[in-house]
Amino acid sequence: MNKLTKYITTGAMALSILPFMASAHGMDNENKGEKSEMKSYFGEHFDRDEQNEHKAFTGTITAKSTTGFTLKDANGTVYTVTTANAKLSTPFLGSILLADIKVNDKAVVKGSLTGTTIAAKSVKVMPANTHPAMTKGTITAVNGNTITVQNTHLGVVSNVTVKTDANTQVTKDGQAATLADATVGTTVKIKGLWDETLNVLNAIRINIKTMFSN
| The pLDDT of residue 107 | 97
Q: By the 8 A CB rule, do 100 and 85 touch? A: no
* Better pLDDT: 118 or 20: 118
pLDDT at 94: 84
Region of poorest pLDDT, from 111-125, 141-155, 175-189, 200-214: 200-214
Question: How confident is the model at residue 211, as a pLDDT?
Answer: 66
The secondary element (H helix, E strand) that includes residue 9 is helix 2-9
pLDDT of residue 61: 98
What average pLDDT score do residues 56-72 get? 97
pLDDT tens-place string over residues 154-177? 889 999 999 999 999 999 998 999
In the predicted model, is pLDDT for residue 47 greater than 70? no
Backbone angles phi, psi at 67, to 5 degrees: -115, 0
Strand partners of residue 169: 205
SS (H, E, C) 202-214: EEEEEEEECCCCC
In a 3-state reduction of DSSP, which class is residue 149? strand
Q: What are phi and psi of 8, to 5 degrees?
A: -65, -45
Please determine, for residue 124, whether its predicted confidence score (pLDDT) is greater than 90.
yes
Count the neighbouring beta carbons within 10 Å of the beta carbon of residue 67.
11
pLDDT band at 199 (very low <50, low <70, confident <90, very high): very high
> What per-residue confidence (pLDDT) applies to 189?
95
Q: Contacts by 89-94 with C-beta closer than 8 Å and gap 24+?
A: 89/122, 89/123, 89/124, 89/125, 90/124, 90/125, 90/126, 91/18, 91/20, 91/41, 91/124, 91/126, 91/132, 91/191, 91/193, 91/204, 92/132, 92/191, 92/192, 92/204, 92/205, 93/204
Query: What DSSP character marks residue 181?
Result: G
pLDDT at residue 92 in the model = 85
Q: Give the residue from 72, 75, 50 showing the smallest Cα distance to 61.
A: 72
Q: Which of 100, 109, 104, 88 is nearest to 38 (CA)?
A: 109
Domains detected in the chain: 21-126 (2.40.50), 130-209 (2.40.50.140)
Distances (CA, A) of 52 to 17, 34, 45, 46, 109: 30, 21, 12, 11, 15
